[in-house]
Structure 1
Amino acid sequence: MIETESMIPSGDAVSEILKFLQAIYGETEGYTYIWLLKKKKTLWRPLSNLRDMAESAVRFGHSQDIYFPVCPQVKALTENERGTLVSVHSMTCFYCDFDCQGGNHKQKNLPTFEEVWEWLMSLPYPPSIILFTGGGIHCYWLFDKPWIFESNDDRQKAQETSRLWQKRFIRDFAKRGWKLDNTSDLTRVLRLPGTMNCKGDTPIPVQILTFEPERRYDIHQLVDMPMEGELNSRDCRDNRDGIEHMIFDRCAFLRHCRDDAGTLAEPEWYAAISILARLFKGVDMVHQISQPYPNYDRHETDRKILHAMNDAGPATCHRIRNEFPGYCTECREQVKSPVVLVNPSKSLSSSDNWGQIVPFNGDYELPEFPVDVFPGWLRDTVEAEAIALQVPMGLPGMIALSILSTAVAGKAEIELRPGWKESLNLWVIAAMDPGNRKSKTFSNLVRPLAQWEFEKQKEVTPLVKQAESMKKLKEGQINKLQTDAVKAKNTETAEELAMKAASIACEIEDMGIPSLPKLYLDDHTQEKLVIAMSEQGGRIAILSSEAGLFGLIEGRYTQSGGPNLDVYLKAFSGDPLRVDRIGRPSIQIDKPLLTIGVSVQPDALRGLLDVPHFRGRGLLGRFAYAIPKSFVGYRKIDAPSVPESVKAAYQAGMTRLLNLPLSNSPGVIQLSQDANQIFREFEQTIEYYLRPFGKLSGIIDWGAKLCGLTGRIAGLLHLADNSFSSEPWHVPLSGNTMQAATKLSM
């Protein structure tokens, strides 16, 4: 007897599918469907009626390939539509599709069924459900509770988590020489047990091999699952190149650039370079796919790579669709650039698309420094210095921020909303290994400060000499009066002379001696720092290409040997500072403002996390960080020097900012209506990311200060953009400037 689609399904088959679906979905709400591959039709069913779905699956699944969505949808769509990412309701499990030898697969480097089974059984957390599909194995790791999505940010985070979960499997398979496709997308459809795999000449039943629905896991338990024989970090880096090549499997445009390299047009090649060069061993990959081109030249290719790395970022999917149509038609990846397909931690500097937050003690791929946020005179300088010294834009870019802060801190502040004002002193760290020309970059960019300081000291020196001479004269008068008082023959005369001496002493106290203008320190002790801030009206900067600053903060030069953070913390926020000194007058600073711009080695940066109190008291959370990618080994030997016109414009721009008036009442920068709206949205986004399990939940100490930091950056960009004004704080901060600040922060 031949069964037809109109016949009543058998009870056993329906029960098997029903128990499977109940285990996958649990009591989750929403909709699911059966997708008929042959007819390209979708049969939608509510999760409240899984029995009807099971019956439909048996009815259709004996004679054609059918699939179901692992993640349920919020609503039912039409019969011509499958689920979409934006309408996924929840995620109830991790899942993976393992292709094996013997199925209808084109790939040759596949494991056998036995090898996959042995590998699965070696995992510390085995799957809850395993299916044999005829061409491979489908596995499910059930969660102890569903991950229900409240927003698209939740969906993106879940997709990212799922992708990273499978990436560990892909990495381990690649180490063994096996191919494993990433099937982690939330719209993934897989086969149902009790149906048939009809892709080959002979249909093969899809069967349950193991079914243990009571075996459920906390999602964090799975994410942190230790894998037997898992590679250490160095081994992972050595074996990532095979994984990175999988980008060609997942991006039709890049596959075209590789396969048609011999006839590839220049714009297509350059777009591909901007993506591939940012991957692990990406430079080698670019050379490999470029060699079929008839005019291939290694040195010219290296030059193009360097230029592409200094661009704003990798080519986006939007650009590829518009400029090179035809390759993205069937893409289902839901990403903004192909670079994240094998590198999901890569951020595209968008306020709604943060990548994975990566720790200092791990591998990192970070977005390029967005030099376009600067006004022309400063942008030109950063770009020219980067090219001349063959360093990434992030190094001169971050140093430029600290130079801006040094020039204007204390002269203005920004009001982000009524009652919330931020000073414009900034703390900046650019971390790079030795040999990356950090000292030279600092030296070139700090030159206008040094020149201004030298000229002002020349102006003030005569006044200092005059005051010192007058002080010595009055001290001599005091000494003579005191001597005469001692020799006086009667008490009345002695008291009169003593009173005159005291009066002159008060004159000396009131007179004071002008301090030579000083903008920044390099080598210092904490006491020297406090004295310098006191002498300079509370304003001083620490600008250095070395990491000695943190040894001083840690307390290397204090008698107790422990961290003494109050001076630094108060000098960031501008809180009143009082330092008592044994045997000497106390120092009182009403509003200390310390700017920090340092370039350290990544190892030193990682070491800061181990210093007691550095993170707990919020010291590390106050810094803006950049870890630019090193160009060492790929630098151009005869790079063009910085044009004199660019140097002159930079000198003039910084001098204008340095000459802005300094008073006891700093100017207040107000937000325009557009800037206010942009900042409100940014602030709301950050607040959401600070929730438990949010993108910033692991670095709340830094994330909680990010809005204030962004406000400070906006204020600096505003003053730089309006440097020709004698009172730029009277100009409202524009929406474009606030957008630039949020772009730089993200």
Structure 2
Amino acid sequence: MTAKLLKSAAPPAEDWPELVPLDMPSLPRLNLEHLPGWVGDYAQAISADTETPPELAAGMVLVTCATAAARRLRVMVKPGYVEPCNLWAVVALPPGNRKSAVQSAATASLITWERDQATIMEPEIQRLTSERKTLEARAKEKRNKAAKEKDHGKAEQLAREAADIEAELPEIPRPTQIWTSDATPERLGSLLAENNECMAWLSSEGGVFDLLQGRYSNGIPNLDLVLKAHSGDAERVDRGSRPPVFLRSPRLSIGLSPQPDVLRGLAAKPGFRGRGLLGRFLYLLPPSPLGYRPLGSNPVPKDVKDAYNAGLRAMLDWEPSLDEHREEQPHVLSLSPEAYSEWYAFAQAIEQQMRPGQPLEHFTDWAGKAPGAAARLAGILHGIKHAHGKPWEAAITADTMTDALEIMAVMTHHSLAAMDMMGTDPSIAAARQVWDWIKRGRRSHFTEREAFNALRSRFPRMDMLRSALSALKERGYLEMIEPPRDGPGRPPSPIVRVRTDISRDWQ
């Protein structure tokens, strides 16, 4: 019956609609040789230890180093054009890929450095806390006397003395914090204000997008501060009961490793694409090794780990530059003439590819920021190479710029694929999974019920499966055939017939 129905319903090969591909494009891999010395060695080692793609380790290590570099460095591409060294990166991988382990390995030195800074600051914090309590007690004593004093003149004098004491209350410093994994945009403003305007937002999940979408603000996106903290633009931060502060040049680094499904559909979130949020990230979409890992043991060598910890700590301990008001500001890195020529050629190539009909025509929000991202990468790589010295005393070389541009070339392919993914319907991801099941079994035809029974763990409801099948039908991969109903009872399950010019190659 099924064979007869298929034969009678089969359209000629030329009558099938044009096939619209579902597969992700074949993306180039990131060569860790473009990461300098101790950083490249460590990224390679944790990739081998965790049996994860090198892109995951590279992305997380680069953002960690950017967290240190952004505190003290900025890149002058040319007079009047300066880029900070903070970086936004997303490395998307499915669950089970040990993303948390990689991020923990990359950021462990940040935690250790924060703890050491807290220990160093503890005696001063205790001293100032004691001094403040003493002054507060004196102010309170005078206010109590003023309240009881019957002589109006004396009462006013005591009140003034209390106010003078309160004006001299010392500000108690907070232990230095340089990263967070969960903060509302409002809290992020306070963290930046309290930590020399430089922070990192690091997470192995994609919850940052929920926070920016307005999880705690009735769904109203709050993007202003975050967008300005990417470019280093000034912003005023209101801190509730505390006085507001003016951020002169906030610098925020972001490192995320969410599931690919988190990215799908992000372009439809209010403001995310239109205001340029998504175009500020550098994306990596490595293939998942799950199912092909040897499950061996490759611990990170102690000397490699020690070199990474020492290098990152040296970057975190760089001395700041001081302006005419004795306030801290980042040092300025310059490009050698050869490095500038390399960067300029890249910027020109990106500019031309944004023209109508060119590859970047529909990705100008990302492409417009690519030259700046390349300069930032070069600054970070330069800082890594000179971690144990004073990187601001040497110009960024052509070799360093070449490494940055090689990394950017790979990230460009991945970022365009990610931007395309974020604009697609979530049903495409489901369609890919159904099509993978069809291909693995070389199924030229099957019933809807058979597919539902085989894929029930992924599609617990029939309507979810039908949505995926519908997407495959729309793109020309298959057709649905409704068998005739014979008598009462449940109708027979629809038959799914795979495109003949594809299934013929499976025979």
Deviation at 1:482, TM superposition (A): 0.8
Name the aligned partner's letter for residue 684 of structure 1.
Answer: Q
Deviation at 1:697, TM superposition (A): 0.9
* Equivalent residue pairs, number: 393
1:369 aligns with 2:30: yes
Matching residue within 680, 685, 694 for 2:358 = 694
Structure-2 residue corresponding to 1:393 = 54
Structure-2 residue corresponding to 1:720 = 384
Structure-2 residue corresponding to 1:444 = 105
Which has the bigger relative contact order, CA under 8 A and spacing at least 6? 2
Structure-2 residue corresponding to 1:416 = 77
SS for the counterpart of 1:709 is: helix
Whole-angstrom distance in 2 between the partners of 1:525 and 1:500: 40
Whole-angstrom distance in 1 between the partners of 2:171 and 2:292: 56
Name the aligned partner's letter for residue 388 of structure 2.
Answer: F
1:465 aligns with 2:126: yes
Name the aligned partner's letter for residue 567 of structure 1.
Answer: L
Deviation at 1:581, TM superposition (A): 5.2
Judge conservation of contact 2:57–2:106 (CA < 8 Å) in 1. yes
Structure-1 residue corresponding to 2:398 = 735
Structure-2 residue corresponding to 1:359 = none
1:556 aligns with 2:223: no
CA 1:231–1:734: 2 relative to 1, 3 Å:
closer
Whole-angstrom distance in 2 between the partners of 1:415 and 1:657: 19
Name the aligned partner's letter for residue 542 of structure 1.
Answer: W
Whole-angstrom distance in 1 between the partners of 2:69 and 2:365: 26
1:513 aligns with 2:176: no
Matching residue within 403, 408, 429 for 1:745 = 408
1:534 aligns with 2:196: no
Residues 358-409 of structure 1 show CA distances to partners (whole Å, capped at 9, x for unaligned) of xxxx513211112111111111101111111111110000001100111121
Whole-angstrom distance in 2 between the partners of 1:710 and 1:671: 12
- Summarize the alignment of residues 649-664 of structure 1 with structure 2, pairs less than 5 Å apart: 649-663=307-321, 664=328
1:637 aligns with 2:295: yes
Judge conservation of contact 1:521–1:542 (CA < 8 Å) in 2. yes
Matching residue within 329, 343, 348 for 1:684 = 348
- Is the radius of gyration larger for structure 1 or structure 2? 1
Deviation at 1:728, TM superposition (A): 0.8
Output the TM-score relative to the length of structure 1. 0.51
Unaligned runs of 5+ residues in structure 2 are: 1-10, 322-327, 410-507
Judge conservation of contact 1:410–1:423 (CA < 8 Å) in 2. no
Structure-2 residue corresponding to 1:668 = 332
Whole-angstrom distance in 1 between the partners of 2:124 and 2:231: 33
1:547 aligns with 2:214: no
Deviation at 1:584, TM superposition (A): 4.8
Judge conservation of contact 1:520–1:540 (CA < 8 Å) in 2. yes
Judge conservation of contact 1:669–1:729 (CA < 8 Å) in 2. yes
Output the TM-score relative to the length of structure 2. 0.75
SS for the counterpart of 2:48 is: helix
SS for the counterpart of 2:246 is: strand
- Summarize the alignment of residues 124-135 of structure 1 with structure 2, pairs less than 5 Å apart: none
Whole-angstrom distance in 2 between the partners of 1:384 and 1:583: 47
1:384 aligns with 2:48: no
Name the aligned partner's letter for residue 630 of structure 1.
Answer: S
Name the aligned partner's letter for residue 498 of structure 1.
Answer: A
Whole-angstrom distance in 2 between the partners of 1:717 and 1:584: 38
Judge conservation of contact 2:320–2:331 (CA < 8 Å) in 1. no
Deviation at 1:744, TM superposition (A): 0.5
Deviation at 1:531, TM superposition (A): 1.5
Judge conservation of contact 1:390–1:639 (CA < 8 Å) in 2. no
Judge conservation of contact 1:541–1:596 (CA < 8 Å) in 2. yes
Matching residue within 620, 627, 630 for 2:278 = 620
Whole-angstrom distance in 2 between the partners of 1:584 and 1:533: 15
Deviation at 1:491, TM superposition (A): 1.8
Name the aligned partner's letter for residue 594 of structure 1.
Answer: L
Whole-angstrom distance in 1 between the partners of 2:267 and 2:174: 38
> What root-mean-square deviation, in Å, do the aligned CA atoms of Structure 1 and Structure 2 show?
1.7
CA 1:118–1:630: 2 relative to 1, 3 Å:
closer
SS for the counterpart of 1:596 is: strand
SS for the counterpart of 2:257 is: strand
Unaligned runs of 5+ residues in structure 1 are: 1-116, 124-225, 234-361
Deviation at 1:573, TM superposition (A): 1.1
Whole-angstrom distance in 2 between the partners of 1:515 and 1:581: 16
Matching residue within 542, 566, 569 for 2:227 = 569
Name the aligned partner's letter for residue 402 of structure 1.
Answer: V
Residues 397-431 of structure 1 show CA distances to partners (whole Å, capped at 9, x for unaligned) of 00011001111213110011110000001111000
SS for the counterpart of 1:668 is: strand
Name the aligned partner's letter for residue 200 of structure 2.
Answer: A
Deviation at 1:467, TM superposition (A): 1.4
Whole-angstrom distance in 2 between the partners of 1:591 and 1:556: 26
CA 1:483–1:441: 2 relative to 1, 3 Å:
same
Among the aligned pairs, what percent are the same residue?
A: 37
Name the aligned partner's letter for residue 553 of structure 1.
Answer: L
Deviation at 1:585, TM superposition (A): 3.1
Greater helix share, 1 or 2? 2
Judge conservation of contact 2:185–2:222 (CA < 8 Å) in 1. no
SS for the counterpart of 1:524 is: coil
Whole-angstrom distance in 1 between the partners of 2:195 and 2:402: 33
Whole-angstrom distance in 2 between the partners of 1:372 and 1:614: 34
Matching residue within 399, 420, 430 for 2:91 = 430
